[in-house]
Chains A and B, each alone.
Chain A
Amino acid sequence: MLSRRELLFGRLRAGVSRAVPSTPPPPPPDDSPKVAVIQGRHCLAYRELMCSTCYERCPEEGAIVIERGIPQVVADLCTGCSDCHDVCPAPTNAILMLAPRPTINRGKP
C-alpha cells in the first residue's frame, strides 16, 4: 500500500512527462524546522477558483483543513515537509515555509 504522500507522487517519479526542462543543481538542503503558511493574496482558493491541491496532497492527516473552499494550515500538526509548497499551482506560489513561532511560555515551568 502507498502512503498518502506516495499516492500521486509515485508515478511522477517514474518520469512520465517529457516536458521537464534541464535542471540547475539543487539548492543546499535546509534542515531547520519550518511550518507552512498560506498567503491568501496569492492563493487561488481565496478567489473561489476551487483549488485544493495543498489540502489533497498534505501527507499529515488534519494538518491542512478546508472550510468553504479555503485551506488553512493547522500549525501544530504541520511537520514542515513542504509538500504543499512544492505542489502549489498558483501563479505566485501561495505557500511560505517559515520558522515556527517560538512557543510562548505562559509562566508554566
Chain B
Amino acid sequence: MSYEIVARPHQQNFIDWAKDKPEVLVLSADLTNSCEVGKWRDTYPDRFFSMGMAEQNMMGMAAGLAREGFEPWLHTFSVFLYRRPLDQLQMSIAYPALKVRLVGFLPGIMTPGGVTHQAIEDIAILRAIPNMTIFEVGDATEAQSVLDVAHDVQGPVYIRMLRGEVSRIFPVTEPFVFNRARILSTGTDITLITSGIATEEALRAVPLLQARGVSVTHLHVSTLKPFTDPQVVAALKSAKSGVITMENHSIIGGLGSAVAEVMAENGISAPLQRIGLKDTYAHGASQKFLMAEYELDAAALVKRVEVAVGRKLDIDESELQEQRSINVHSSAKVEAL
C-alpha cells in the first residue's frame, strides 16, 4: 500500500480557504512557520497578529476578538494550547462558548521535542471541558477539509493537526464530515477504532490480519467530541472477539476512554484493549522509535489482536515494514521545532 505524500497540506490550502472570509484571523505564538502559516501572514498581513510567547494573553485576546464577531484561528503546538493557559482557555473562551479555533500541531509523540512538547493528555483534558468540540485529523484530506467543518461550529474547537509531509489516505472527494466515522473495513471478529496517525499505522496491519483469517471492522474517528456517532455503537456491537482502540495519546481520557463509555452506556459486553501511552510520559526521540518503544505501532496492534482471538498469527516485522508507505523518520518530520 502506498499513499500520495502531500507536502505542507495546510499552508496554501488555508490561504485559499480564508480568502473570502475576512472575519478569519490568525493569532500565532512564535511558531508561525512551524505551523505552516508564515505564508498566510505574508498574504494577509492585516489579519495576522503575532502574540509572542504569551499564550495566556493570546487566549484572552482571542476571546475579545471572537466576542466582536471575528473568528480567531490560533496556531501553535498542541501542548501550548491547553497546559499553561488552561484557566484562560476555560474562563475566557470555553465558558462563553466563543468561536475560537485552536489549531494544535505535533500532537502526542510526533515531536522529538520531548516531554515539554508532547501533548499526550490534551484530549482527556479538553474532553472534560463543556462547550468544546474536538477534532483530530488522520491524513492530508482531513487536514484540508477540517477547516469547513470547524468553521461551522458555533463554539470553540480544538484541532489535532498534521503538518509537513502528510499521507493522503482518504480521497479528496471524501472530506471530513462532522461526527461521522469512516468505515475502512468490515468484519465480525475484531472492531478496531483508530484516530489520527494511529489510523495509517493500523492500516499496515489490517490487510495482514485479514490474510490470516481475522475479520476486522476498522473505523477511523476524527470527531472526538461530541462522540455520539451511531456507526460507532453499531461497530462495537458487532465485535465477536473484542474491541481495540489505537491512539496517539494516553490511554486515559482519550479515544479509548470514550469508546469504553459508549460500550458501558450501551451495555456492550466485549473485552476492550486500549493502545496508547500507558499512563506514562515520553521523551525526545523520533516518532518511529517512540511508537515502537511505547507499543503504539502496527506490531503492537498485531499482538493485541492475537490476545483477542487467542492464537498466534505469525506476522513478522518485515511484513509490517513492507506495508510502510513512508519513512516517518524522514527529515521533513523533524524540521523547524
A pairs with B: no
B residues sitting closer than 8 Å to A (CB atoms) are: none
A residues sitting closer than 8 Å to B (CB atoms) are: none
